[in-house]
Structure 1
């Protein structure tokens, strides 16, 4: 008789839950909001200075908790609604992903979990980035 494998813990559990996610998001959003490569886009720069960082961090933390299998429910606007007016280019997306990588490395997030997180973020590309620009 085959023994049943115990279920794999969710990404949320493997990341350490909402407290660990919140710490990583805090660093990441600080990094993104100060990134000159992103703030060179006037619409992004304006958005970064219009939205209080604490509220932005709250929504991103909520979203990552939800997307990684935690009990949170994301209550913010859709990615398309939140970003369509920002004219984000593929080059700006690359800068954003570079910031994400730097934060993941700073907190020594294991490679498997990094890959899963990056796949979640990458799934939003079509709603955030305008055509080649």
Structure 2
């Protein structure tokens, strides 16, 4: 008798090695994205954080959130992002970079949709500032 249960998103994405490849490309994109680095706090964080360590933690997080055996060992998203004053526009740029990385690796639309839903569920912990809060008064 066959199970009607779908494989986990982790399995559908191909496991840790495939996830790590996409995360590697994605982190390279966001670390150098001018749309994100125009925020001085984000730019400073991108120069302070070790890219390999950052990639490791994001890979761990995606694997865990998608049903893999890994356990995320980093700080909470709120604790690690709140001080960056990330805006909705920066969130949109972040998602654009994610979609570009997923397209590069030809992640199917079903898996992309499921992964983006997981990422979208983190928005409230990451986006904390409207754009106008960083603009000087007129």
Scaled to the shorter chain, the TM-score interval is over 0.9
Specify every segment of 5 or more residues in structure 2 that has no aligned partner in the other structure, as ranges. Answer: 132-138
Structure 2 Cα separation of the partners of residues 59 and 4 of structure 1: 35
Q: Does 1:53 align with 2:51?
A: yes
| Match of residue 91 from structure 1 | 89
Of the three residues 13, 20, 23, the one matched with 1:22 is: 20
| Match of residue 11 from structure 2 | 13
Q: Does 1:111 align with 2:106?
A: no
**Post-superposition shift, 1:132?**
2.8
**Post-superposition shift, 1:82?**
0.3
SS of 1:102 mapped into structure 2: helix
Task: Please report the RMSD computed on the Cα atoms of aligned residues, expressed in angstroms.
Answer: 1.1
**Post-superposition shift, 1:126?**
0.3
**Post-superposition shift, 1:76?**
0.2
TM-score by length of 2: 0.92
| Match of residue 126 from structure 1 | 124
Structure 1 Cα separation of the partners of residues 68 and 24 of structure 2: 18
Of the three residues 37, 43, 48, the one matched with 2:35 is: 37
Structure 1 Cα separation of the partners of residues 82 and 3 of structure 2: 44
**Post-superposition shift, 1:6?**
3.0
**Post-superposition shift, 1:7?**
1.6
TM-score by length of 1: 0.95
Specify every segment of 5 or more residues in structure 1 that has no aligned partner in the other structure, as ranges. Answer: none
How many residues in Structure 1 have an aligned counterpart in Structure 2?
131
